[in-house]
Amino acid sequence: MTRRVLIAGNWKMNMLRADGEALATALASGVAPGSAADLLVCPPATLIASVAAKLSGSAVSVGGQDCHMNESGAHTGDIAAAMIKDLGAGYVIVGHSERRADHAESDETVKSKASAALAAALIPIICVGETEGERDAGKAESVVGSQLCGSIPESATEDTIVIAYEPVWAIGTGRTPTVDDIAAMHSHMRQVAGSVLGGSDNLRLLYGGSVKPGNAMEILALRDVDGALVGGASLKAEDFLGIAAAAE
Ligand code: PGA
């Protein structure tokens, strides 16, 4: 098995230029040389270029938080995948639950965005996850399974996409599923994604939702967890590097 751990930071709608560049500089100088994990930060689109410049030559990559499904055209305020790529990004998050909720993004939309990302030679990080009500109703696995089937584009392979499991109720709340629940969900996801993609031994499955330096090690130790998508704790270099160190 050759899956490299990916620790991805999702800065969300945070950081003006000075703070974002300072954080990028701190990450570039703080990252362990020859780190066992791939590190990635996804700043707001306004900062992708300047953060990429600060991280150039370091082991930390840059990504976007969303892209439009079309290549170009009359979509005021939107950003195409190729534009994100053009700024130095290698990845883009699609289908984050905040986008699914705030912008009513359906699985179909997420699939089109992931497809646009692939066409622009970006690696889409496709997010899925159940709400608290769905988990309480015993539907977590079926909800996540159907999000996966609806959101993975036909052009994807197990080597060209990343999937992040982010239970909605664990995002920004300080609550996480038990490690047994994470393990069970990731094993289910590997099976479902494997049947969609024709294989999933190489597919990287991230866990996201209240990952901190204190809980990263036990989560990252799980067999089917290949990294983390980190929100709040990615805004402080020390915390983000602490999570990366837990992957060693
Ligand atoms: P959190 O966010 O780490 O702040 O819970 C995770 C995410 O939404 O990607």
User: What would the pLDDT profile of 178-235 be if each residue is shown by its tens digit?
Assistant: 999 999 999 999 999 999 999 999 999 999 999 999 999 999 999 999 999 999 999 9
Q: What is the pLDDT of residue 218?
A: 98
Share of the chain above pLDDT 90, in %: 97
Residue 209 lies in a domain: yes
pLDDT band at 248 (very low <50, low <70, confident <90, very high): confident
Tokens of 149: 């089937």
Domain tally, the chain: 1
Q: Report the mean per-residue pLDDT for the chain.
A: 97
Domain extent, residue 156, equals 56-245
34 burial type by CB count under 10 A (0-12 exposed, 13-18 middle, 19+ buried): exposed
Domain assignment present for residue 25? The answer is no
Q: Ligand 1 centroid to 170 CA: how many Å?
A: 8
Ligand 1 contact via 9 beta carbon (within 6 Å): no
pLDDT at 242 over 90: yes
- C-beta separation of 105 from 112 below 8 A: no
Could you tell me if residue 51 is inside a domain? no
List C-alpha distances in Å: 44 to 14, 189, 220, 240: 7, 28, 26, 17
In-domain check, residue 40: no
2 close to 38: Cβ distance less than 8 angstroms: no
| pLDDT tier, 1 (very low <50, low <70, confident <90, very high otherwise) | low
Alpha carbon distances (Å) from 67 to 15, 97, 109, 162, 180: 19, 15, 11, 16, 33
Q: What angle do CA 181, 199, 219 make, to 5 degrees?
A: 25
Helix, strand and coil content of the chain, in percent to the nearest 5, comes to 45, 15, 40
What is the predicted pLDDT for the residue at 2?
Answer: 80
Report how far residue 212's alpha carbon sits from residue 139's, in angstroms, rounded to the nearest whole number.
Answer: 27
> Which CATH number belongs to the domain containing residue 237 in this structure?
3.20.20.70
CA distances from 144 to 139, 149, 163 (A): 9, 9, 11
DSSP H or E run through 49: helix 48-55
Whether the predicted model's global pTM rises above the 0.95 cut: yes
Please tell me the distance from the alpha carbon of residue 113 to that of residue 127, in angstroms, as a whole number.
12
Segment 65-118, tens digit of pLDDT: 999 999 999 999 999 999 999 999 999 999 999 999 999 999 999 999 999 999
CB 164 within 8 Å of CB 228: no
Q: Tell me if 187 is assigned to some domain.
A: yes
Pocket test for ligand 1, best of 42, 93, 229, 234 (most atoms within 8 A of CB): 229
Residue 2, in any domain of the structure: no
pLDDT at 13 over 80: yes
Is residue 156 a part of any domain in this protein?
yes
Ligand 1 centroid to 174 CA: how many Å?
Answer: 9
What atom of ligand 1 comes closest to residue 171's alpha carbon? 5
Considering the domain boundaries, does residue 168 fall inside one?
yes
